[in-house]
Structure 1
Amino acid sequence: MSTVANASAIAAKKKLSSQFFRKGIAIALFSAVMYGFYSAFLTLGMTKGVWADWYGENTSGLSPFVITFVLGAVGSAVNDTCSAIWAMLYAGVKGKFGDFLRCLNTTPGRVMILAALIGGPVSSTAYVIGLQMAGSIVIPITALCPAIGAVLGRVLFKQELNKRMMLGIAICVIASFMIGSTSISGDAQEGAFLGVCIAFIAALGWGFEGCVAGYGTSMIDSEIGITIRQATSGISNLIILLPIFGMMAGNVGLSTNLALKAFTSGPAMIWFAASGLCAFVSYMFWYRGNSMCGAALGMACNGTFSFWGPFCCWIVLGVFCGISGWSIPLIAWVAAVLMVFGILVIAMNPLDLLRKKEEE
């Protein structure tokens, strides 16, 4: 009887573990979908209200530098601020806002702040600028961040970088070149190649952020870590990056004036609130999925945003809103799927998934 009971208990434990693992995969995949909608709603917000005047034929006397870079930084700042508000509201509802404040002055909290300073002002702004200049083809480029993170992890922390991981990195690089080739074709929009190059900056920053944040989230609650990350990103965009771009444009007060107009533009803020919510949910589910199915597989599942990003932008902007320029060349779709496979190879041996299924 004891043997039968033990066998039943082991079988039940395996079933629960399997269900927990599969739920983790589903959550990590959903984080990628939410990232796609974050990209779509952010871009949509930057076509409404005062943004329509800034990017329209009547540019209100703004210089090309301001239109390209300062407005991109403003869009990133507005989105990250909205995302931070959603994160703090969620922390308050969960009764963790006090923990969030206490963790700010701890070692893992400071690590998360450092990660946010890299991924927020630098990568998020580069991502928004790339989206505005080249469209959704930059999204698979930014999905190179796991590959870059693997290389940086080897250089900075002496982490393993075996032949399988190098193969995955090579696949990702090939896919990025395929996507980059679409930006220099005759059908590409003006400035697409520069937009793709700027997207590489976002991938580099997020890859470095992933290395740093991995240490921080291993020591504190992931939900608190996300709140620290989003709050730091929003604040640093507003008080650090925007003034710097303002000085580069020759008028420090210009960036502040543009930010105030952006925050008070009702038709646009509706969509920025939606993009901020999607960004927060994406990050939160990414961390949660990683804790349930493992960081490697969670990273690979989240990397499917290289497909979901262009798809959501095409659906929201191209199909429902009828905005031209959001159709994706066939080669970019193929490259996006190839990028997903490359990320999976970096994260784990794909054959392990088949072995796990056989064991069940």
Structure 2
Amino acid sequence: MRTEGHDLRHHGDAEVRDDGSALVDLAVNVRADTPPPWLRERIAASLGSLAAYPDGRAARAVVAARHGLPVERVLLTAGAAEAFVLLARALKVRQPVVVHPQFTEPEAALRDAGHTVDRVLLREEDGFRLDPAAVPEEADLVVVGNPTNPTSVLHPAASLVQLARPGRTLVVDEAFMDAVPGEREALAGRTDVPGLVVLRSLTKTWGLAGLRIGYVLADPETITELERAQPLWPVSTPALAAAEACVEPRALAEAGHAAHRIAADRAHLVAGLREFAARGVRVAEPAEGPFVLVRLPEAAAVRRRLRELGFAVRRGDTFPGLDERWLRLAVRDRGTVDAFLTALDRALTAR
């Protein structure tokens, strides 16, 4: 789907398809050392139950408990992407607004459902930070990511709460929030914000993109509307097993440690990228997600050269609000980052 030159259905996995097995993947925002053995074992153990239809009650209950919510406020989905489709189809909205640059699937889903979508474009000169006053007062659905893909901006929870008002649905995509140490600025679990809908994904931190598991947190009336739009048995038995496992105390502790490790690796990556400032490389800062957004001259040519050198990175020009000067880089371990920075040096020289 293209709107005004932006391919809303282009995602990072497109950078590593076909010959991608030979590439070091900095294009997809899934943690590289996942899923861990204990999670694979839990998923494998569920395969003996495949003859029965999936029963999501237990997984729904533990997800609710993880956020201190009643089960009526939780809906399990086949990844956060399904949740965007359900919201677009089930909610009766007239003036939806998507805050960009951000993950493009919410707008694509809204357009597929027949909605006319307005955009609020955040500006580089403002650090891609949200000014709540920029969102039109008449908007009855607002979608924003936190931390935002691809800018890696973590918006203050207080700023997001300012967007809420009676008669408006406020959708906050927290797919990457568990990669933020302490999940600071999270709204998941809040019940005092009118119209709040929070989306969470378990695919990024746990390496489960091929399994598809996520969930929605919202008021019971909204959950009921979304559930009506779902097909029967939307989440598979292995995905339900993964959902239960990933919100257990041991898993939450492991995710917390991973978030601190990602922050350290990201700082290493950003410091390395700053060394190329004299050659036109600029990092959007401060970065708070498991990825960074970088602007550089002739980014398309550099991306192709990096591919020849064995590294896949995400083009930025498919995100509304960005153009061909931008690339998104997933955070990886220090050894991988150092090898990438060496390749980037060569790619900039070859440019």
TM bucket (normalised to shorter chain) is under 0.3
Normalised by the length of structure 1, the TM-score is 0.26
Higher relative contact order (CA 8 A, sep 6+): 1
More strand by share: 2
Greater Rg by CA? 1
Higher helix fraction: Structure 1 or Structure 2? Answer: 1
TM-score scaled to structure 2, two decimals?
A: 0.27
